[in-house]
Structure 1
Amino acid sequence: MIRARKKTSQKSEQSDPALQRTAQVLANPPEDRTELLAEYFVLSDSFNKLHHQLYKTIAISDSYQQQLKELSRKQEQSDIKLRQLSEVALPICMYCHKIRTDDNYWQRLETYFSSHVDIMFSHGICPDCVKTTYSKLEGRGQPAAVLSQLQSERQKAAAPEDEPLREMKELLERISTVGDPLTPELEKIVSRYAKLLRRFSKIVTISDSYQFQLQDLNMRLELMVRTDILTGLANRMEMLNQLEVELKRSERHNKTFSLILGDLDLFKQVNDTFGHLAGDRVLRQIGTQLKDNLRSEDVCARWGGEEFMVLLPETSLEQAVIVAEKLAAAVRGKEIVWDTQPIHLTMSFGVGAFCAGCSIDEFIQQVDNALYAAKNAGRDRVVKVCTQKQVT
């Protein structure tokens, strides 16, 4: 290879007119200085052209190298996809092109889908649809029963729709009556097509199964993220989201909204006297009591500990005070039984209406200050924001 390169180099040197002329000038330099300068000028011009061609060749080479790297990257991605597809490919013999009936094929297919759930499709669901859909699923029974019903309906609906198979069977019936020699081959084709169709239907069924499980899991995750586990109310994060939504809506429609922050009075005594399990029951029943005395569009959340927050859309401060009074009376009249012993509690409330130019954090802080004013004034009462005027 080295000798070949040397021969090629020698040939290129011999065929290059500029090098030949340079060799002649060096071997027999002209005596006249003007002629020598002219030869140098010709040599310099040839060198510049050669230098330009060299850099142009280097640029083209760099471009080819970049394209080669990109092709290598695409080839690697294609190899990965090919390996993944080979795991679920139909078991077709590469010689006779017949589909093998391996017993573990569908098991391998199910294993592949279970370990590659990212290829499935799932859609985001709004909180209201999540709760409504999930409650309907629980009311109807196990999700598996709903899935099997959907699958059976799909199979019933999809079976009569395969027109090619029906037409091939009709054609087979017609030519079989006239004794066509191609009848056996056509029977094989129809049989293979029907077998592939059944396999495809089974793959669709498996896909539907995993898709349904993913949707069910997404609904559960949505509920877990947005809901307080103990009380079943909205949690702190969901309430902050609802406040942001209500703020934008009020700015768009120029309508105000109000906020109520309530805290159970002397709740620590319940935990110290009856235990934390009794305290958990109290929180659950108080949360239910508050929610039962609100409108469907109102949002009730467990803000933290024994604090509860209520968002009242399109509600003035005076109307919010009336709602807080109603909630205070409902908690005051609630009797919670623990080990045959009744537990009675009261609740203090801070109430405020949102004012333009105020941030959500500032608004919450104002309502929280009103709540502390109600605590300091003797508990079991409602205090409004700003004026800190005691209502009851």
Structure 2
Amino acid sequence: MRMTRPREITESFRLDRVLKSSRSGIVFRATELATGRGAAIKLIVPSCPTDLHICREQFLEAMDTWRELSPPAFPTLFDSGFTPDGSAFMVMEFLEGTPFEALVGIEPARVLRLTLGCIESLSRLAERGVFHGNITPQNLLARSLGTEELPLVLGFGTAAFRVFMGELTGAVLASDALEYAAPELVDPHAGLARANARSDMFSLAAVLSRMLQAKVATSPEQRVSVLFSPNVSQALPGSGALGNLLVRLLDPAPECRPATWTEVTDELAQLVPPEAAAPTTATQTAPEAPSGTVSLSLSELPPFPPAPAESSLPSAPPAPPVEHSGSTQPMETVPDEEVAAPQPPSPVGLADESPPPEVGPPELGAVETTQPLLVESAASDEAPAPYEAERTMAVPIHRLT
């Protein structure tokens, strides 16, 4: 037998408050003095002092397996041991969740997924010959991790520190554990009995039936019947196969239950309906324009041609000065009829004195622009008053109908 030095819990931890208290033990919310890390400490009182050495060996084996395997649905184990008065203690990660008891009546598919998560951890322990023995709706919780919902298995270690003799079981187990315990663990004629994989199967099946609100009955001939409500039957297409599985798991005779957790997992996994795909958001698109039409906005119109720059003709250079000499020269005369009457100079670009063409009203949708054109006279030294000429350009715009 391994020897471990008894330790006082308060040497390393400060006990903050009581989380749960029952006839089998007390659970504290505590803080580690050295690191300030929060933890949960479970203190299990001895039930049968005469068999204390058996209980200690079972407990140490269970703690070693827990620490080595770290089952995914179990909290992390920090420390374990015994106190000077012979009680066993466990220091574990403090996690919070919702007990299965508070989730009775939720979607059946959700119940099955949580149950499969519990089985995964229980099967790992069973492969090493270690079993839970204290499965109840209060010791199974659901917790949220991001977008996932994961199971949390508590209550482990209590059964390992017990010797299940029929006449003593009622004194060492809590009342809620008795309701879900396998018959062979509470039968006064069963003699010495320990928790095993098949007793854990019975307890988990009883919790599953409670979650699904199924009616379970056992006849005097020890035949089990399971009846689901219409809502559960409609939500689970394989409710008939699930009922048959529960009948086998809840059989009073342990040998009639499945031999391994693998059998239970294979059958239960086929009954879980697939998760519904997330709905896709429809993308609204603008309606296409009817064929044969052209959509044109004012911002898409071609730019107007630039207005011509103001033109200014240079004036004629001044005539050179006439030098007068003392001598006179006769002037050549021209007949009157050959001399043409002087004509006034015409403005550049407006030699045609015909009236400008009439400009009618612009067409519907036309854009009219007016830009002044400044023209100077070429024969006058003084700048005449500016002459404004209008240039009209119509740009047709197709109207959408």
- Per the normalisation by structure 1, the TM-score is 0.20
- Per the normalisation by structure 2, the TM-score is 0.20
Larger Rg computed on CA atoms: 2
